[in-house]
A and B are shown apart, each in its own frame.
Chain A
Amino acid sequence: EPEVTQTPSHQVTQMGQEVILRCVPISNHLYFYWYRQILGQKVEFLVSFYNNEISEKSEIFDDQFSVERPDGSNFTLKIRSTKLEDSAMYFCASTAQGQGATDTQYFGPGTRLTVL
C-alpha cells in the first residue's frame, strides 16, 4: 500500500540553526501539507501546497518557515532559525484531490524535531 514517508525520524538541532524536514508524498497525489504537534497538544495545520504554490497557510507559518517541492518526489519544510518552541512532531500529509469534502489526507510517520 502506498504511504507517505518522512526523513529523518528524529532531528536534534541547536537554537538558531536551520533545519530541513523531508517528505515523499504518495506518488500520484497532488496536494501536500505540513502539520505539527507539540507534545501533549493538538495537531496544528501549518501549510498546504499545490501546483508549486502555497494554497493556504496558518498563523504559525511565518517568515521563518518555507516549503518547496525541489523535484518530482520530495516535499520539504525549512525552518530558517529554529527556536525552542519549534520543538514538536512534524507531520507531512498528502491527498489526491485536495478539496477535501471526501478526500483523505494520508499522514507520514512524522519527524520529531528537538531544539536545544
Chain B
Amino acid sequence: QKEVEQNSGPLSVPEGAIASLNCTYSDRGSQSFFWYRQYSGKSPELIMFIYSNGDKEDGRFTAQLNKASQYVSLLIRDSQPSDSATYLCAVITVSGYALNFGKGTSLLVTP
C-alpha cells in the first residue's frame, strides 16, 4: 500500500505567523500532489496542486515539492483564525484516477 504521511498535529501558530505543513509519500512514481483543506464535518476543499519540483505560490499559500526527497509542503503566510482546519495532502495514484490521502494535519491559528 502506497503511503502518504502527515504529522497529525495539532500545529498551533499565532495569527499573522507562517504555518508550515509537511507531507511525505512512498510511491516514487507519483507525479501530482494536492493540498486540500477540510473543516470539521465538511468535505475536502482544494487549496492548490503542484507537479513540478520547486515552489508554487497562490496568494497566501505556497506549495513546495521535492521529488528526490519525496516531500511536499504547504506554507500559509499571514495565518488567520479562519485557516484553522485540517490540511490534507493527497497524491494521485499511478493509474491517474484515485487520490491517495494522508490523515491530515490539524492547524490551529490563535488570535
Contact surface of A with B, Cβ cutoff 8 Å:
31, 33, 35, 41-45, 48, 55-56, 58, 91, 98-102, 104-110
Contact = CB atoms under 8 A, between A and B. Distances in A.
Interface in B27-69: 31-32, 34, 38, 42-46, 49, 51
10 contacts: A33-B97, A41-B103, A42-B88, A48-B98, A55-B97, A58-B98, A99-B96, A100-B96, A101-B51, A106-B46
B98 A42 contact: no
A7 B92 CA distance: 27
B12 to A, nearest CB: 20
A24 to B, nearest CB: 14
B92 A107 contact: no
A43 B98 CA distance: 11
| Contact count band on B | 20 to 34
A56 B95 contact: yes
**Of listed A43, A44, A98, residue having the most chain B CB within 10 A:** A43
B97 A98 contact: yes
Given A101-B32, A104-B46, A109-B43, A43 B88 contact: yes
Contacts of A101: 31-32, 51, 92, 96
Contact of B103 (A42, A48, A102): A42
A45 B95 CA distance: 13
Most A CB contacts (10 A, CB to CB) among B34, B88, B99 go to B99
A107 B97 CA distance: 14
A107 B45 contact: yes
Q: From B51, B97, B98, name the one whose CB has the most chain A CB atoms within 10 angstroms.
A: B97
Given A35-B99, A101-B31, 7 more contacts: A45-B93, A48-B98, A56-B93, A98-B97, A99-B96, A99-B97, A108-B43
